[in-house]
Structure 1
Amino acid sequence: MVTGATSLSLVRDELFTTMEETEQSLEHFIAERNNGSLLQQAVENLQQVRGTLNLIELAGAEMLAQEVLQQATDIPTGAGEERDGQLTALSNALYVLRRYLENVDAHRQEMPELLLPAINELRQAGGQPPLPESFFFSVRLDHMRPAGVPAAPVAAEAARRLRHMYQVGLLGFIREDNPQAGLKLMLRALARLDSLFADKPAGRLYWVGAAALESQLDGQLLPRKARKQLFSRLDREIKQALAGNGSYEVPRSLLKELLYLVALADSRGPHASAVHEAFGLAPLPFTDHLLDEEYQRLSGPGQGVMRSLSSAIREELAGAKDLLDLIERGTAQADSFGNLHALLGKMAKTLSMVGLSSASNALQVQLPVVGGWSENSPAQADELHRLAEAVLYVESMVASLERGEQRNSRPAPVQPGDEGEAFAAHQLVEARIVVIDEAQGGLALAKRAITSYLESGGDRMHLANVPISLQAVRGGMWFLNQERAAKLIGLCADYIQKQMIDVPQMPSEQMLETLADALSSLEYYLEAGAVLRPETTPSVLDLAEESVRALGLSVAA
């Protein structure tokens, strides 16, 4: 690896000259597609580039050059619009390759993982399957897990319910409603499956899978498309493992991908730490976020552009509110009216550029009104009120942009003139969020108390406040018109009171785990925003209800 980076300086000038000629030939061919000699010149130069990179042993760069060469060779003279995707991918890949080599030359450090997005973009344009994230990662896969406590007897119904739990969390992770909440539920499901199948071949899948999920969660790894596909594949493998009756074996390719996430995050959680030790994983010389930042630097503007832009808009909004305040008080200077009109017009254009068309329209409608204001024609009270509502609405939209919220979680677009009602509705949503936060805190308290109860061998003092806390959560759910969730929480509170506090005998470990499953499902229902958007997670309460039924409780109306 060091040899490649060091050797680059020996061929640097000739290599970069050839790459520049290649980019120019390709650009000219894109403009003159009937000129086959331009394309042929680019192909010949690419062969020279690839040969040079092979000679100095820059493996990642050589692989990207090889992909570029294959795609360029596939382009015919006179290529039409159907080849635009390939030609764009070629241009982008050459740009990334040159920037990457410049970085290697400057810092004497290779990081071939940075080239995988460009390689896969090329492969996708050419109809080829992408390379996995772990392509440049090496690990021995034949290590076995240490011997542990024999697994508990497995009930088919419990295993099916746990796979359902995994699927519910996976759906939330894929949709990115709240990826962290989805990951917690998926981790809970795999950890429980691991405890049930620890002494069986399928246990290896759940063991390493739980470590990968813990790493994705603790390391705050990005919810990339490849990882969504990986955890979706894991669900399909869980189905096979549950049907395998002990004869299941984890595919090596899946095992390597999961271990790569464990190594990438370098989590110190219990699942990841055990896998780290068993497989002898060494921390990687980069983090997920470093890879993302470096690739953004290679390929174009950074991800912080949008956030910086929204921050600038907020400053302009503050200026607009100051001018509006002066006008309302009657202390505005002669140029204040023109300044406010110009500022609102500038913001309207900027908001339209960043996709906040509803906010842009809200200001556009106000421009003719503000344009008519002057010292001799002062603003009317109702006009000032409507403009203030529009500014508040825009401010709430921009705040969501600055927080990086998904489009579907921003204040709803409204028609001009309805901004006041929309702002009030947004405030009501904020109040509901406060109730949800309190409910989450109550559920988390209950789970911690149950853990302490279990660890203390059944000391009921740990549970003294749990039923009261859960009944408060139940009241919050009724306030939010979530009668079904409220009923399930109330049943959990009743179980804790009658089966754990009022009796001297501890419930079985299996029943306590089932209670925890129910509370985890309800916690996910709150964390993933299902209370505000119940249509996004239709089966979460079904999952909680299954666990409550498994406790022997009736959930009939």
Structure 2
Amino acid sequence: MVSGATSLNLVRDELFNTMEEAERSLEQFIVERHNGSLLQQAVESLQQVRGTLNLIELAGAELLAQEVLDQATDIPAGAGEERDVQLAALSNALHVLRRYLESLDVHRQEMPELLLPAINDLRQAGSQPPLPESFFFSLRLDQARPQSSAPAVDEATRQVQARRLRHMYQLGLLGFVREQNTQASLKLMVRAMARLDSLFASEARGRMCWIGAAAIESQADGQLLPRKSRKQLFLRLDRELKLMLGNPHYEAPRSLLKELLYLVALADSHGPLASAMREVFGLTPLPFTDHLLEEEYQRLAGPGQAVMRSLSTAIREELTSVKDMLDLLERGTLQEDTLGTLHALLGKLAKTLSMVGLSSAGNALSVQLPQVAAWNDSEPPALEQLHKLADAVLYVEGMVASLESGSRRDAQPVPSAALSDAESFALHQLNEARIVVVGEAQAGLALAKRAITAYLESAGDKMHLANVPFSLQAVRGGLWFLEQRRAAALVGACAEYIQTRMLDAAQMPSEQMLETLADALSSLEYYLEAGAVLRPETQPSVLDLAEDSIRALGMPVAA
């Protein structure tokens, strides 16, 4: 039997006609809420649509049609305003379904993942839980992980380390959820989860940490979008960590592991953790990327993007006409009624820009209107006035570009402090110096972490550490200059540990102690990457975490 995208063409006309009938009946019902027969006609058409999609085995489209049918059946005749959200979700879902089937008819490529946002909007409107991102993804979860062993640490010490690492994960998670320096936050989360995995590698409960570390690495490496569903997934991972740490017989929910592995497959990351995961589970790259899914869904949910692009094209054409007129004015070759046309065109553009949300761009043109109205054919405008108008037009051009890119809809006004030029320049120079110092400090911490890794891999070759205390003392001095006394003291403690316990000592510290030192350096690195030096009021708990790690090393911390 022919099925799927290849068979859509056989039923295309009848299917689209039936969908049109369902949309028309639903639209009329939204206006005439007491006309139950309109709603019944829509339900009957939807039943036919669902049946046809089931016949040709388009699983994703059938699921969306079933959700639409369930919601439509749930709505009573005479529904009031309390059903507006549900009716809007129904209309949107039918629109997306039609666009999806039109695309499928042309490209012959099924991508049911594109329908999940519309499905979940419907489910949310009907107070039902959303379907996970991995709903259409399948794999075997019972693959055994490669043999690994946890470090020899007594249980009490391991629990203390595990709680500290969960705290590290939570700090990174907070930054990710708030979308504050997302990459730095994810790096901290990966570090914490990978270290937790090393603590529990020999136990079944460590499986969640093993898979979780690879999923977070994939989120960072593949630059996956920080969707709400992913924030909720990593929040759920934290809740499960709490259960895991208190229960030696803990077993992670299969639904959670599947969702984490879906991120690994979606990102196609080349990171070491994700690469190992793909090999164990036989994960192959998916036929789409996260960003492609987003672009395609925006296209399906249109016409918003298409309309905005068309509108921006029309605005740019009118801006070109304005620039041509300005060119004529500057050369003194005025044509009849040029000034009247220019004034009308600027007024029209200002209103259009305000209507589409680009209010600052519209205002930039509006403030020019009185000046243009004062110009006359007998006396050409001053060159300075023309330049001001040209500057406003160029500003508007830049703002209109955001309509096509889908970026911010308007510019926030920049407050101007009452400072002299000399004071502004001095502040600028100081800020530049601070940025340079922070950059050098980050480089120094990264160098120390690489040196410790090389020291560990070389079974204690002290040559790798020769310059590390000096580099860290330089970092300490830079932080002292930035008035980050506490961070400077913590970096100094790390430098002291490396000098006294690694370079001057006869015996190499245990691997666990070296990992704890790396935890402290990672926390300090995150503190710098997350911008806490430039915004001192943020991230104080990151320094608490670094201090905990340094205390675990047995080093005193200055008050």
* TM-score, with length taken from structure 1: 0.84
Q: What corresponds to 1:186 in structure 2? A: 189
Cα separation, partners in 2 of 1:311 and 1:181, compared to 1, 3 Å: farther
Which residue of 243, 246, 250 corresponds with 2:246? 243
Q: What corresponds to 1:506 in structure 2? A: 508
Match of 2:415, as an amino acid?
Answer: V
Cα separation, partners in 2 of 1:34 and 1:405, compared to 1, 3 Å: closer
Q: What corresponds to 1:115 in structure 2? A: 115
Cα separation, partners in 2 of 1:388 and 1:333, compared to 1, 3 Å: closer
Match of 2:225, as an amino acid?
Answer: L
Deviations 1:20-48 (A, max 9, x none): 11112212222222222222111110010
- In structure 2, stretches of 5+ residues that fail to align are none
Cα separation, partners in 2 of 1:285 and 1:435, compared to 1, 3 Å: same
Match of 1:174, as an amino acid?
Answer: V
Match of 1:12, as an amino acid?
Answer: R
* DSSP-derived class of the 1:3 partner: coil
* TM-score, with length taken from structure 2: 0.83
CA distance in 1 between counterparts of 2:176 and 2:516 reads: 23
Comparing 42-51 and 485-494, the one that deviates more? 485-494
CA distance in 1 between counterparts of 2:178 and 2:69 reads: 36
* DSSP-derived class of the 1:135 partner: coil
The CA deviation at 1:317 is: 12
Cα separation, partners in 2 of 1:403 and 1:23, compared to 1, 3 Å: closer
* DSSP-derived class of the 2:508 partner: coil
Which residue of 470, 473, 481 corresponds with 1:471? 473
CA contact (8 A) 1:414 1:422 kept: no
Cα separation, partners in 2 of 1:84 and 1:467, compared to 1, 3 Å: same
* DSSP-derived class of the 2:204 partner: coil
Residue 101 (structure 2) pairs with residue 72 (structure 1): no
For residues 97-136 of structure 1, the aligned pairs below 5 Å read 97-136=97-136
Q: What corresponds to 1:173 in structure 2? A: 176
The CA deviation at 1:284 is: 2.0
Q: What corresponds to 1:437 in structure 2? A: 439
The CA deviation at 1:11 is: 0.9
Match of 1:3, as an amino acid?
Answer: S
Cα separation, partners in 2 of 1:285 and 1:401, compared to 1, 3 Å: closer
The CA deviation at 1:260 is: 1.2
- Percent identical among aligned pairs is 74
The CA deviation at 1:143 is: 2.1
Deviations 1:487-517 (A, max 9, x none): 2223222322333333343222122111111
CA contact (8 A) 1:373 1:379 kept: no
Q: What corresponds to 1:12 in structure 2? A: 12
* DSSP-derived class of the 1:50 partner: helix
CA distance in 2 between counterparts of 1:118 and 1:271 reads: 33
For residues 262-277 of structure 1, the aligned pairs below 5 Å read 262-277=264-279
CA distance in 2 between counterparts of 1:249 and 1:283 reads: 28
Match of 2:8, as an amino acid?
Answer: L
Residue 459 (structure 2) pairs with residue 457 (structure 1): yes
For residues 209-358 of structure 1, the aligned pairs below 5 Å read 209-244=212-247, 246-300=248-302
CA contact (8 A) 2:358 2:409 kept: no
Match of 2:208, as an amino acid?
Answer: L
Deviations 1:257-278 (A, max 9, x none): 1111122222232222222222
Match of 1:177, as an amino acid?
Answer: Q
Comparing 482-491 and 154-163, the one that deviates more? 482-491
CA contact (8 A) 1:293 1:302 kept: no
Comparing 104-113 and 268-277, the one that deviates more? 268-277
The CA deviation at 1:116 is: 0.6
CA distance in 2 between counterparts of 1:395 and 1:468 reads: 51
Residue 174 (structure 2) pairs with residue 163 (structure 1): no
CA distance in 2 between counterparts of 1:224 and 1:132 reads: 12
The CA deviation at 1:283 is: 2.6
Match of 1:525, as an amino acid?
Answer: Y
- In structure 1, stretches of 5+ residues that fail to align are none
What is the CA RMSD across the aligned residues, in angstroms?
A: 4.4
For residues 13-52 of structure 1, the aligned pairs below 5 Å read 13-52=13-52
Residue 207 (structure 2) pairs with residue 204 (structure 1): yes
User: What is the aligned residue count?
Assistant: 549
The CA deviation at 1:157 is: 1.6
Cα separation, partners in 2 of 1:403 and 1:303, compared to 1, 3 Å: closer
Match of 1:98, as an amino acid?
Answer: R
CA distance in 2 between counterparts of 1:342 and 1:440 reads: 55
Residue 533 (structure 2) pairs with residue 527 (structure 1): no
CA contact (8 A) 2:25 2:42 kept: yes
